[in-house]
Amino acid sequence: MDIVEIESLAEKRKWQKRFAKAYTLGEVRISDQTFGDNVRFFVAVKDGNELGFIRINDKTNQFDIDDDTQVWNAADAYVKPAYRSKGVLKELLKV
């Protein structure tokens, strides 16, 4: 399994819509902040199949840190039903 960072806004929107549809019945409006400069998206891919994604946010500026440590939080994650319980999210969380 490979973990690939998503750069394309269209790809980011695709995954965010899947997340919203699966967990909120699509009723949540996706804001532009979801795709801001401090946000990164990653997709798990195996044998050419996209398995799931994770969106992480840089929260470093919210903490008083004296060194170069960065603080990131997992904001959203989605794994396609066929690939659940197979360690996909575990691998995505390693980014």
pLDDT (0 to 100) of residue 25: 64
**Nearest-10 Cα torsion for 54, 60, 65, 67:** 80
Q: Which domain holds residue 36?
A: 2-92
pTM exceeds 0.85, yes or no: no
Is the model more confident about 10 or about 23?
10
Question: Per the structure, how many domains does the chain have?
Answer: 1
Please report the sign of the dihedral spanned by the C-alpha atoms of residue 63, residue 6, residue 35, residue 53: negative
What's the rounded mean pLDDT across residues 9-14?
Answer: 85
CATH number assigned to the domain comprising residue 54: 3.40.630.30
Run of H or E including 4: strand 2-6
* pLDDT for res 86: 97
Query: Nearest Cα to 32, choosing from 43, 44, 47, 16?
Result: 16
Confidence tier at 88 by pLDDT (50, 70, 90): very high
Give all strands of the β-sheet with 2-6 in edge-to-edge order: 2-6, 39-46, 49-58, 72-79
Collapse the DSSP code of 80 into the 3-class scheme (helix H, G, I; strand E, B; otherwise coil) and give the result: coil
pLDDT digits (tens, 9 = 90+) for 22-81: 766 656 565 556 666 788 999 999 999 999 989 998 888 888 888 888 888 998 898 999
